[in-house]
A and B are shown apart, each in its own frame.
Chain A
Amino acid sequence: MRKFKQKFGFLLLRLSILLAVIFLFSLIIVIILKGAKVISIPFLTQFPQDGMTKGGIFPAIMGTFLLAVGAIVFALPLGVFAAIYLREYGKSYRLIRIIRIGVNNLAGVPSVVFGLFGLAVFVKFFQFGVSLIAGSLTLGILILPIIIRSTEEAIATVPESFREASYGLGATKWHTVRHVVLPVAMPGILTGAILGIGRAAGETAPILFTAATFYTRRLPSTVFDEVMALPYHIYALMTEGTKPQYQVPIAYGTALVLLLLVLGINLIAIIIRYRARKAKTW
Chain B
Amino acid sequence: MKEKFIRPILLISALVSIFFLCGITITLFTESLPLLKQYNFIKFLFGTHWYPTCYPPELGILPLIVGTLVVTLGTFLIAVPLGVGTAIYISEVAPHKIKEFLKPTVELLASVPSVIYGLFGMVFLAPLVQKVFHVPIGLNAFTASIILGMMALPTVASIAEDAISSVPRSLREASFALGATKWETITKSVVPAASSGIIASIILGLGRAIGETMTVLMVAGGAAQIPHSIFDPVRTMTATIAAEMGEAPMGSLHYHALFAIALVLFFITLGFNLLADWISHRRKV
Contact = CB atoms under 8 A, between A and B. Distances in A.
A116 B246 CA distance: 11
Interface string A76-107: 01110110111001100000001101111111
11 contacts: A13-B93, A20-B86, A20-B150, A99-B15, A110-B213, A120-B259, A201-B113, A202-B116, A209-B245, A231-B115, A266-B111
Interface stretch (B38-46, B56-64, B117-125, B168-176): B117-125
A117 B266 CA distance: 11
A10 B104 CA distance: 21
B113 A204 contact: yes
A279 interface: no
A9 B245 CA distance: 48
Nearest to A195: B111
A255 B17 contact: no
A127 interface: no
The 5 closest A-B pairs by CB, nearest first: A110-B211, A202-B113, A16-B85, A81-B13, A6-B183
Interface residues of A, number: 88
Contact of A9 (B28, B119, B183, B273): B183
Interface residues of B, number: 84
Contacts of A187: none
Interface stretch (B19-27, B47-55, B130-138, B226-234): B19-27
A20 B182 CA distance: 24
Given A116-B262, A209-B246, A255-B119, A108 B241 contact: no
Given A3-B181, A174-B6, A209-B246, A109 B24 contact: yes
Interface string A252-282: 1001001100110010001000000000000
A132 interface: no
Interface string B99-112: 00010111111011
Given A120-B27, A195-B111, 5 more contacts: A5-B181, A85-B11, A86-B14, A120-B31, A235-B218
A124 B7 CA distance: 33
Interface of B: 2-3, 6-7, 9-11, 13-18, 20-21, 23-24, 27-28, 31, 81-82, 85-86, 88-90, 93, 102, 104-109, 111-120, 122-124, 150, 153, 157, 181-184, 186-187, 204, 207-208, 210-214, 217-218, 238, 241-242, 245-246, 250, 258-259, 262, 265-266, 269-270, 272-274, 277
A19 to B, nearest CB: 6
B86 A17 contact: yes
A16 B218 CA distance: 26
Given A2-B184, A113-B262, A262-B113, A208 B122 contact: no
Contact of A113 (B3, B211, B277): B211
